[in-house]
Amino acid sequence: MEGKDFQFQVNMKGMIELLSEHIYSSPTVFIRELLQNGVDAVTVRKGIDESFSGKITLFFNEDQLIFQDNGVGLMVDDMHQFLSVIGQSSKRGELADKDLIGRFGIGLLSCLVVSEEIVVESRSLFKDESVRWTGKADGTYAVETIALLPEVGTRVILKAKPNWRSLFKKEDIKKNVLYFGSALPIEIKLIENDKEEVIVDGHPIWLNPKASKTELLAYGKEVFKTNFLDVFPIASEAGDIQGMAFVIPNKVNTTTSKEHKIFLKRMYLCDQANNLLPEWTSFVRCIINSNMLQPTASRESLMNNALLAEAKKELTICFKDYLKLLSVSDIDILEKIINVHHLYIKSLAASDNEILQLFEDYLPFETNQGTLLFGDIKSNYNTIFYTPSLDDYRQIRRIAGSQNKLVINAAYSYEAELIEKIHRFRPELTIEIIRPNDVLDSFEEANIDDERLQQFVEKANKILKQHYCKAEVKRFEPKDTTAIYIANEESLNNKNIQNLSQGTSPFAMTLGHFKKQEEELPTLCFNQQNDLVLKLLALKDAELFEALVNVLYVQALMLGGYTINKKEMDIFNHALYQFVILGMTNFLPEI
């Protein structure tokens, strides 16, 4: 038996719930949809008559809103075809992709989220008659001929549902019209009690190529509530993009969502530029308009496609060109930007050779001599040391400084990669990685007899064994440093495994079985040049010797910035108690 075709049925109530709860994030989008329809109608009429000047007017009457445009208008057939068929857009031909905003043909239904019915009255440019279309939330609609309207165009009449009356107040409508339509190329005015107010003049300052920097910065402050450091234009042929980038004057959190203003055919779309702006441009806030990028169905984000990717590449060039221009035209602004946003500039330099070579001298690095620009570093130090480990840097910084060595803390994102890249581009520079053991190896040998030294190390090792540490005695600067704790990554891992293996859990017991026979341990290096250590070398009292070694061990951990566990803290407190009880100064020998 041959099958019969049936027509899909649309549950209008379900469709409205879908719009309000899943597709549109806010009921205020009905303003955007009305603006879109009005601007599109005006655009079609302007395509027929280039001298035509379009406008949109909003009238208020208690809970009623009338949204009127002087566009091309609709005939009876248009209303049946375009207003009554869900998912069918009235946009046709060449204009649909290039000049018109709406595409999906369901925007008008968003009005049913806030109004029980939609009344559309229109007079077409092509036929001297006026018609009214009334659509209701139950899925029914009616079309009738009415008295001739005074002028060509369309007006949409809405009456607020009780729950949404607040959205129909003049101030709320004004706020939402400016939110969505501030960049539209059309005059928009509000009329209430015969009082007119033009709120959009069709000429946004940020799209005016003749606008001054002062005017643009003032606009940026109004929009983003920030006194920006600078502003510069950005553009891309891909996506037909124009806009402005405002440089933020303060450091920004890398994990915070970045707020921008993204417009599509000059209608506000969203505040996120996902996949459009380079990831390292978090130091700017942008206002951008695209005439060609495509929106998602909800019109609240951009579609991620090949055109978007190409636009991103072109915008990346804009940001790089801006930084290049500053390097020859305004060094003061460039230094301010790098000082505040150097992490983002470094991330760009790490992946872009041209930017690295251009800004190498201006990049700041944290060092054991303070924060220095790389230009000053390479001018004042024959050898540049760096370490990619924060733990290593904490061990090295003070001792290396006393030896007049400059050490860069390259533990931050991109830093080690950046320094290594500089080394490849600047082979004439002596740049070396430094480790704690390198510092230890550079210390002078202790100048005491071997037997006495061996006895001290053996006694100290018995005490330090509980800390999974070994003792050495050397001479180093500064003299006021009693001891330094030196541990590379492997020895720290060994210590942590040993600490864990002392537990009673199955995991801890398993770790105990896998301990190496010959493990590399951290070193506590005592400074023979220090007066306290000299006294310790001569100390005979075993109890005080143990207490002092434990105190110097924990002190060295503190100086190195290491976490001190409960066991170590308890030993430290016990040693201090011993000093109080025994009166340490009475037992320390004269030197």
pLDDT value, residue 16: 55
Under the phi-then-psi rule, with left for phi > 0, alpha for psi from -120 to 50, and beta for the rest, what region is 144? beta
Secondary structure of residue 393 in the 3-state scheme = helix
Q: Which one-letter DSSP state was computed for residue 358?
A: H
Nearest-10 Cα torsion for 549, 551, 553, 557: -170
Measure the CA–CA gap between 322 and 358, rounded to whole angstroms. 12
Phi first, then psi, for residue 208 (nearest 5°) are -95, 110
**Which H or E run contains 310?**
helix 306-329
pLDDT, tens digit, for every residue of 244-259? 999 999 887 766 667 8
Measure the CA–CA gap between 177 and 268, rounded to whole angstroms. 10
pLDDT level of residue 35 (50, 70, 90 thresholds): very high
pLDDT, tens digit, for every residue of 214-237? 999 999 999 999 999 999 999 999
Pairs from 51-58 (Cβ < 8 Å, separation ≥ 24) = 53/187, 54/186, 54/187, 55/186, 55/187, 55/188, 55/189, 56/186, 56/187, 56/188, 56/189, 57/188, 57/189, 57/190, 57/191, 58/173, 58/177, 58/188, 58/189, 58/190, 58/191
Beta strands across the sheet bearing 470-475: 444-445, 470-475, 523-527, 483-486
**Which H or E run contains 382?**
none
Measure the CA–CA gap between 183 and 170, rounded to whole angstroms. 20
pLDDT, tens digit, for every residue of 69-93? 999 999 998 888 877 555 444 444 4
Mean pLDDT, all residues of the chain: 84
* Residue 585 confidence (pLDDT) above 70: no
DSSP per residue, 177-233: HHHHHTT-SSEEEEEETTEEEEEE-S--GGG-TT--HHHHHHHHHHHHS---SEEEE
Closest to 16 (Cα-Cα) out of 162, 116, 132, 121: 116
* Residue 416 confidence (pLDDT) above 70: yes
Give me the mean pLDDT over the 23-50 stretch.
86
pLDDT, tens digit, for every residue of 502-550? 555 554 444 444 444 446 788 999 999 999 999 999 888 888 899 999 9
Give me the mean pLDDT over the 402-412 stretch.
89
Measure the CA–CA gap between 63 and 84, rounded to whole angstroms. 25
Give me the mean pLDDT over the 403-421 stretch.
90
Measure the CA–CA gap between 39 and 578, rounded to whole angstroms. 86
Nearest-10 Cα torsion for 122, 125, 128, 134: -20
Give me the mean pLDDT over the 349-361 stretch.
87
Structure tokens at 575: 């040693």
pLDDT value, residue 552: 93
Radius of gyration of the chain (CA): 37
pLDDT value, residue 212: 96
Structure tokens at 551: 């105190």
DSSP per residue, 121-158: EEE-SSSS-EEEEEEETTS-EEEEEESPPSSSEEEEEE
* Residue 394 confidence (pLDDT) above 90: no
pLDDT level of residue 53 (50, 70, 90 thresholds): very high
Measure the CA–CA gap between 153 and 127, rounded to whole angstroms. 12
pLDDT value, residue 4: 54
Specify whether the CB–CB gap between 63 and 160 falls below 8 A: yes
Q: Give the torsion sign (CA, 381, 383, 387, 391).
A: negative
Measure the CA–CA gap between 367 and 393, rounded to whole angstroms. 9
pLDDT, tens digit, for every residue of 134-166? 988 777 889 999 999 999 999 999 999 998 898
Distance of CA 560 to the CA centre of its chain: 32
CA dist list (Å): 292 to 242, 258, 305, 315, 526: 11, 23, 12, 15, 70
For residue 391, give the amino acid letter.
Answer: D
pLDDT value, residue 5: 54
